Each structure stands twice: as C-alpha cells, then as structure tokens.
Amino acid sequence: MTRPTVDVLSPLLSAPSIPPAAAHQLLAGLDLAPRTVVPAWITDLGLRRDIEDGFADIPDDLRGDQ
C-alpha cells in the first residue's frame, strides 16, 4: 500500500525574488555556481589561479564591476 504524496506549501518557505546578478553571487559564495572572472587588477598569476580554484577569496567590495 502506497501513501499519497502531499505537498506542503507555506508562504514562509517561498523563494524570495532575487535579481539574477545577486543570485549568482550568492550561489558562487556557497560553491553552488561557478565563480566569476578574476578582476583584471590582480596581476599575480598564482593569486589569480587560487581565486579561480576557490582557495582564495576577495571581498565583494573589491571585485568592482565585472
């Protein structure tokens, strides 16, 4: 005997409306989306590679427009 599936919906659990640019940054911060391109002002190749691989992070206010 199988039980019927019941969907529980709550206004508290509904997804908020988030702009796509902000949503991508939030997901990238949780490693659920690929990180954006490293800013051009970072010239050290080792640091650029570390940022791309997720070993180093720079604050959002230093990223600038990308």
Which pLDDT does position 15 carry in this prediction? 63
Q: Is residue 14 part of a domain?
A: no
Q: Is residue 39 part of a domain?
A: yes
Q: Is residue 2 part of a domain?
A: no
Q: Is residue 52 part of a domain?
A: yes
pLDDT digits (tens, 9 = 90+) for 19-65: 777 777 778 778 787 766 788 888 999 998 888 787 888 877 777 65
Q: Is residue 34 part of a domain?
A: yes
Q: How many domains would you assign to the chain?
A: 1
Q: Is residue 8 part of a domain?
A: no
Environment class of 9 (CB within 10 Å of its CB; exposed 0-12, middle 13-18, buried 19+): exposed
Q: Is residue 3 part of a domain?
A: no
- Domain span holding position 48: 20-60
Q: Model's pTM, two decimal places?
A: 0.42
Environment class of 63 (CB within 10 Å of its CB; exposed 0-12, middle 13-18, buried 19+): middle
